[in-house]
Amino acid sequence: MASDALSGSVLDTLAAAGCAVIGGSVVRDGGSTFFLARTNGGGRVLGVLGDAAGFSGTRHEPSGALLCAPTAAHAEALRVRLPWLRPGPLGLATSAGFGDRLGLATPGHVRALRSTGGPAAAIAPIFAQQSVRENARTGRSPQQVMDDALWGLLAEGWRLPWGADADHLKTPADVESFAAAGFSFYTIDPGDHVDDAAHAEPPDAVRRKLDALPWETLEDSLADLEARYLGRAVALEGGAETVDREALWRAAAKYGRAVAHTVVMYRHILARLGAGGFELEVSVDETASPTSVAEHLYIASELRRLGVRWVSLAPRFVGAFEKGVDYIGDLGAFEAEFARHAAVARSLGPYKLSLHSGSDKFSIYPIAARLAAGPDGAPLVHLKTAGTSYLEALRTLAVAAPALFREILGLARERYQTDRATYHVSARLDRVAAAEDLADHELASLIDQFDARQVLHVTFGSVLAVFGERLRAALAEHGEAYAGHLTTHFVRHLAPFVARGDAGAEGCGS
């Protein structure tokens, strides 16, 4: 508690000045004591007692605390003094990524982890996670994403390892701003280089595509490729997997350019950060057709041959992983295919299977946790979430600021047909009630309705462009309610993956 590290007189004088110390944030480091305090307006200030070198602000008397704005410079000064505020590699521990489009969700994410696994955190967290596309729509930079996570972690007294995900990177140029901000986990998205048509085209068309592959980048030839796979069986649990010529050709035609692009991206990051300075995830989930087991074998085998090291891989699984709603598809078919993908990941890695667009897929979590269990029983799974935290923010507004929520809903309805273009969703506007048709007490129910969730989910960029300042101010005012909604929501996500054991080893190629 704050009273254990700050005297009662300090607390009283700060409170009299409108600053309520956040108890979990108080930390002593050598000759300094740091803490966060909430102001009457819902904002936060950083307090420093004792040695305040590297910090600037207003000296508060008679407490003697230096009160500082939560700036990027002060965040970096804290990282220097308190190394646990820097992200780092997490290895093969069962993990979850918590995208936060508003920069206010980390306290709720921390509380959900503690509610699920206790102080030891049974699931390794990635608290700073944002894609280039999301940053463009929210108007945030990688450094802002990192700093927002830091203030939330300080507020909650988080001291355990955590990661930061530079999500869905498509070009080497995308890497730089995330590397400069200290991100530790890099998700490569080679989806633009996947040829979805190759899995069903006539053989002569597939052969032409094979001839046009970037064989030099792949350090390979068609003859050598066939020599490695044809007539050979890959030992997997429960039997062996063989790849015939047609399956091999189609896999290479579909994913060969994606493998080459991933190699280029990996080597670029490796040159920028050095071995051991980052973790890699490979994502091929944003494609039109599912990734077959043979294709998974091809991708993993070729990346390993080319020296790529990764901790998680996101195939395109069977069924539909639409934004903001549960899995759509045959659970039996998913279970059968997931079991085979998990066998590949254990045999060619081990590495984690990553569930992208993983928010709210409650029906498949128990399946994934059971079938992807590693040697110690802990699931070799990375769960990636993003927009669901934004939806919980809107739930908070629906209860605490209904007038603002009504305006947001109106804009979301207007923008949906345009904003949905870059997302895989199937919501229909005619099934989403207009704000004027609902009483205040009915507004929150929209957050649990399929179509309304997706309409609100994919229009976040348009909403933040118009209402961002008001939305963040309302959430700051009702921060405890927001954290409570997030805690309840994410316990449902995390609980199925909690398992005993220690899965802290390195990833593929270790």
| Torsion sign over Cα 355, 360, 366, 369 | positive
* Rounded Cα gap, residues 253 and 212, in angstroms: 9
Give the Cα separation of 449 and 116 in Å (integer): 26
Annotated active-site residue 4? The verdict is no
Q: Exactly one of 100, 148, 167, 419 is catalytic; name it.
A: 167
CB 300 within 8 A of CB 313: yes
Task: Give φ, ψ of 64 to 5 degrees.
Answer: 85, 0
The amino acid occupying position 14 is L
CB 214 within 8 A of CB 262: no
The CA-atom distances, in angstroms, between 143 and each of 43, 165, 184, 271 are 20, 12, 13, 21
3-state secondary structure of 34: strand
Q: How far apart are CA 18 and CA 458, in angstroms?
A: 38
HSE-CB at 104 with a 13 A cutoff on CA atoms is: 27
Active site includes 167? yes
Nearest to 372 by CA among 358, 394, 354: 354
Residue with tokens 């991206």: 265
Peptide bond into 62 cis (omega under 30): yes
Characterize the bridge pairing of strands 163-169 and 124-131.
parallel
Dihedral sign from CA coordinates of 360, 361, 363, 364: negative
C-alpha to C-alpha distance for 345 and 303, rounded to whole angstroms: 13
Out of 100, 148, 165, 281, the active site residue is 281
Indicate the pairing of strand 32-39 with strand 19-21: antiparallel
Angle, nearest 10°, between helix axes 106-117 and 479-494?
40
Among residues 240, 241, 220, 244, which one has the least CA distance to residue 230? 244
Strands 352-355 and 381-385 come out as parallel
> Which residue type occupies 499?
A
Angle at 76 between CA 70 and CA 80, to 5 degrees: 130
Residues in the chain: 510
For the chain, the farthest-separated pair of C-alpha atoms sits apart, in whole angstroms, at 82
Q: How far is CA 32 from CA 29, 53, 306, 435, in A?
A: 5, 9, 49, 51
Which residues are marked as active site?
167, 281
